[in-house]
Amino acid sequence: MLRLSVFLLLITTLSSFGQRDTLRFKNGDLMVGEIKNLASGVITIKTRYSKSDFTIKFHRVKEMTIERKCIVTLTQARNLFGFVRSTKEGQIGITENNGNVVLVPINQITSLQEVADNFWGRFRGSIDIGANITKANNNRQFNTTAGISYSGVRWLLDGSLDILISAQDSVAETSRTDAQIEGLRLLGNNYFITAEIAYLQNTAQALDSRISPSLGYGKFLVNTNKMYFGVAAGLNYNIENFVDNDENAESAEVFVSLALNMFDYDKIDLITGIRFLPSLTENNRFRIDYSFKFKYKFIKDFYISAGLSFNYDNQPSTAGATFDYTLNTGFGWKFNK
C-alpha cells in the first residue's frame, strides 16, 4: 500500500486542470480540487480523477485556499462568511463581503461549508429508504430516514424524519414516526437561542400524535475542534392525541437538555443528547427523551456502530407503555477514504 504522501503527490499532478481549491498538508504535499465542507474533524474534497470524494482528517492540514464563499464556524461558536485563504502556516484569512480580512488560527475552525449567496442555495438534504421482508411469519419491515439542513451566518437549521413500520402474521402492526425541525440563533460567546417543533407517533405508547413546539436558551460549555458540549433550557408545549380520544390533552413543560458530540478522535465518534421534561400543568408527570450514536474503529478501516433512541413517560395513556426504545448495531468497513 502506498504511503499517503506519495499518493497525494501523484494525484495532485494528475488533477491540476480547472480546479482551484487547494489543501497543503503538514508533510508538504498538495491536493487540488473542490473543497466541499469540513465537519466532525474531517474535510471533504472532490477531484476530477476520482468518482468518489476524498475525506481527510483536518488535523493533517496546515494551509488551504477556497475560491468560493464559505460559512466558517470557530471554537467560540462564532460564524464568519467569506472567502478562505491561508495567510501563513497555521493561520487562515477570511475575507468578508465588506473587504475586511479576519485572521484566525486554523485549529480554531470547527466546521466549514461552501454556501451560495442566495437563501435557497444554502439548503442541503438527504433521504434513505429501506425494507426487510422475511417469509417466516410473513414479516415485513419498512423504514425511511430523511434530513435537511440550512447554514447561515447567524442561523442554523436542522430537520430530521424517521419512519418505521413493522408487520407480521398474527401480530398487530407497529409503527413509529419521529420528526423534528430545530433552529439555532447564534449570539456569540458560545450562547444561542433554540426553537424546535417535534412530532412523535408511536403505537407502543398508544400515541396517535404528539406535537411539541419549544423555545429555549443555551450555551456551549465546551466547543473545540474535537468536541462540543452544550446545555439549554426553556419551555415546551404538548398537543397529544391518543388511541383513546378521552385521554387527549394539552400541557406545558419545562425542558433541560444536554448534548455532546465527540469527533476527530483516533478510534471513536460519539453523539448523544438527553432532554428532561417535568410538566408544569400535569401533576407529577415527567418525561425523558434520549438518543445515542456511537462508532468505534478497531482494525484499520473496520468499525462497530451502535445507536439508541429512548422515550420515557411516567404517565402514559391507559393502553400505552411507560417507555419505548429502538436499538441498532452494525459492523462496517470504510473504503476509498
The pLDDT tens digits for 208-222 are 999 999 999 999 888
**Choice among 80-84, 224-228, 259-263, 288-292 with the minimum mean pLDDT:** 224-228
The mean pLDDT of 126-142, rounded to a whole number, is 74
Top-confidence residue, 243 or 155 = 243
The pLDDT of residue 127: 74
Rounded CA-CA distance 199/160 in Å is 10
C-alpha distances in angstroms, 317 versus 102, 119, 253, 320, 323?
56, 43, 17, 5, 11
The mean pLDDT of 145-155, rounded to a whole number, is 75
The most confident of 62-76, 126-140, 154-168, 273-287, by mean pLDDT: 273-287
The pLDDT of residue 8: 45
Rounded CA-CA distance 136/283 in Å is 46
The mean pLDDT of 189-208, rounded to a whole number, is 89
Q: What is the pLDDT of residues 76-125, one digit of tens each?
A: 667 788 888 888 888 889 888 788 888 988 888 888 877 766 666 667 77
70 touches 84 (CB < 8 A)? yes
The pLDDT of residue 15: 42
Q: What is the pLDDT of residues 231-276, one digit of tens each?
A: 999 999 999 999 888 889 899 999 999 998 886 566 777 888 999 9
The pLDDT of residue 14: 42
Which residues are CB-neighbours of 335 under 8 A, at least 6 positions away? Answer: 301
What pTM did the predictor assign? Answer: 0.65
Query: What pairs with residue 111 in β-bridges?
Result: 73
Ordered domains of the chain (ranges, CATH): 4-115 (2.30.30.100), 123-333 (2.40.160)
C-alpha distances in angstroms, 223 versus 189, 238, 264?
11, 31, 13
The pLDDT of residue 136: 66
Q: What is the pLDDT of residues 16-75, one digit of tens each?
A: 445 588 888 888 888 888 888 787 788 888 887 777 788 888 888 888 988 888 888 887
C-alpha distances in angstroms, 300 versus 45, 53, 64, 219?
22, 19, 27, 36
Per-residue confidence at 2, pLDDT binned at 50, 70, 90?
A: very low
